[in-house]
Amino acid sequence: MRRSRFLEDGARYHVTVRVNNKEMLLEPEEAKQLFETVLIRAKRRYSFSLGHFVLMGNHIHLIILPHSDESLSRIMQWILSVFALKYNKMTGRTGHFWGDRFFSSVLGSLQQYLRTFDYISQNPVKAGLTEHCSTWRYSGIYHLMRDWHFLVTDVSCFLD
């Protein structure tokens, strides 16, 4: 029996989810673009703010703030299932896309938030995919540096 997820009203969460068997299915540009498209659709469907994200070859990280009366689990279930269905259709693939259910932790302090923001930012650098986090196309830093706000909300709303 799996443990219940700890959810807290008004909480900011660090969410991560990995591809089944750690396969590099998110590596192609088309997969990352599809995930961004699904995130945009999710923001229209559900009320939440996205403070940061990074899309890697076999996993993703998000900092997400569900707004009042929204469920983190419902938001993530929709994002992950819609992406998996569309990805499988696009590639002719069948079966599970994601491995275990998504991991989430509450970012209960400014220090935790900043540490997590930096950790997410440095993922592509540590993986050797880019020399500087601001040049990784599929990240919140990239979006913020270009003043793109269709995915990432101004981070000041996360610092209240």
Instruction: Tell if the pTM clears 0.85, that is, is over it.
Output: yes
Residue 152 bridge partners (DSSP): 50
Find the mean pLDDT for residues 6-15: 81
Q: How many domains does the chain have?
A: 1
Please name which of 67, 34, 32 lies closest in space to residue 49, comparing C-alpha atoms: 67
- Rounded distance between C-alpha atoms, residue 112 and residue 50, angstroms: 16
Is residue 19 domain-resident? Answer: yes
Tell me: pLDDT of 32 over 90: yes
Could you tell me if 54 and 121 are in contact, meaning their C-beta atoms sit under 8 angstroms apart?
A: yes
What domain range includes position 153?
13-158
Query: Positive or negative, the Cα torsion across 84, 89, 90, 96?
Result: positive
Residue 3 belongs to some domain of the structure: no
Q: Name the band, by pLDDT with cuts 50, 70 and 90, for residue 7.
A: low
Q: Residues 6 or more apart from 125 whose CB is under 8 A from it?
A: 131, 132, 133, 136
In a domain, 51, yes or no: yes
Q: Is 21 helix (H, G, I), strand (E, B) or coil?
A: helix
Residue range 126-155: mean pLDDT, rounded: 90
More confident residue, 69 or 106: 106
Name the pLDDT band for 69 (thresholds 50, 70, 90).
confident
Question: Does the residue 1 lie in any domain?
Answer: no
The upper half-sphere exposure of residue 1, i.e. CA atoms within 13 Å in the direction of its Cβ, equals 2
Q: Is residue 8 part of a domain?
A: no
Confidence of residue 80 (pLDDT cuts 50, 70, 90): very high
Domain membership of residue 44 (yes or no) is: yes
| 6 inside domain | no
Report the CATH number at residue 56: 3.30.70.1290
Query: Does 130 fall in a domain?
Result: yes
